[in-house]
Amino acid sequence: MKKMLYVFLSAAVLFLGSCSSMAPSPEEKYDLPADFKYQEYADVNRNAAISQIYFDIIEKNKVYKDTTVDKRDSTSKAVSNCINLLKNENFARKIYLEYAFCDWFIDNEVISNKGACWDNGWEDLEPFFQDSLPKYTGTPRRNVKADSTIKMMCMFVPPAENASDAESYLRGFYYLDNGKLVFGQKFSSELAIWHYFETGRYDGMPYKYCNGRHGAIKDTTLATVRGNFYDYGKYTFCLENGQVYIAQ
C-alpha cells in the first residue's frame, strides 16, 4: 500500500510541476503542525527525499525504452550505464552512503533481498564491489550479496555520460553537508509535504528533531488500530537520539 502511495505522490508532483501556478499554497491545502518545515522533515526522514530521486530516475530511464524495440535491450542499456558510472569508486561510494538508503527500500519492499545492506556500510562492501560489478547483468546472482547491493545502487544512477554529470543530477535534489541535507532546485517541497500529510502522520513518522523537548516514547498504545494498520494520526512525533517521542 505504501509503495503505491509513493507512486501516486510522484505522479502528482509531475502534474504540479506542469501547472505550479494553479496549485494552492501548502498553508491553504494542509493542516500541518505550526512549526512544520519540509526541510527538517526530509532530513529526519531521508526516505521523503530519496523517493523523489528514485521515481525521477524511473522516468529518466525511459529514454532507453524510447530508443530500443526489445524491452530486454532497454534494460541491458540501463544496466550498462549504471555499471560504467559505478566504476568510478568515489561516485559508487557516494551513491551507497548518501543516496541508496537501505531502510526505505526494505520498508517499502522495493527490493526482495534484505541482505543488500551491509552492517558496516561501504567498509564491508568495498572488498567485494569491484569484483562483482563487471559480472552484474541486472539480475543478482544467487547468494552473491554484492549483486543485490549493486541492484539497489543502480536505482539511483541516472542516464549520464560520466560520473560528474550523474552527481550533478543527484545534487539537484540534495547533497549532504556535515550529515545534513542541502536541497537543490529539483527537490519538491510540495511532494515532501504530501509525504507527511498523506502517510507520515498516520505512520507516526517524526516531523522534526525534539531538541530536548518531548513527551512519551512512541509505542502502539498511542495508535488507533484499523484492521492490520496502526494509525498514529492523533499525535505528532519528533526524533531524539534515534528514538521517536510525542512532540511538544
Q: How many residues does the chain have?
A: 248
**Phi then psi dihedrals of residue 171, to 5 deg:** -65, -20
All three cell numbers of 182: 542541502
pLDDT reading at 7 higher than 60: no
Q: Is 90 exceeded by the pLDDT of residue 82? A: yes
**Average pLDDT rounded to a whole number, residues 32-53:** 91
For residue 139, what pLDDT band results from cuts at 50, 70 and 90? Answer: confident
Please give the residue that has the higher pLDDT: either 91 or 2: 91
Q: Is the pLDDT of residue 106 over 90?
A: no
Distance (Å, whole) CA 88 – CA 91? 5
Q: pLDDT-derived band of residue 103, with 50, 70 and 90 as boundaries?
A: low
Distance between CA atoms of residues 42 and 125, nearest Å = 27
pLDDT at residue 233 is higher than 70: yes
Check pLDDT > 60 for residue 101: yes
* pLDDT at residue 185, as a whole number: 95
Q: How confident is the model at residue 144 (pLDDT cuts 50, 70, 90)?
A: confident
pLDDT given for residue 41 in this prediction: 94
- Residue 148: predicted pLDDT: 86
Q: Which residues are within 8 A (CB) of 20 and not within 5 positions of it... i.e. 6 or more apart?
A: none
The string of pLDDT tens digits covering residues 165-192 is 999 999 999 999 988 889 999 999 988 9
Position 111 scores a pLDDT of 39
Q: Which grid cell sits at 200?
A: 507520515
Mean pLDDT check: name the lowest of 106-120, 129-143, 222-236: 106-120
Beta strand 180-183 with 237-240 is: unpaired
The pLDDT assigned to 222 comes to: 95
pLDDT at 6 (0 to 100) = 45
What's residue 140's pLDDT?
Answer: 87
Q: For residue 209, what are the β-bridge partners?
A: 239
Tens-place pLDDT, residues 204-230: 999 999 999 999 999 999 999 998 889
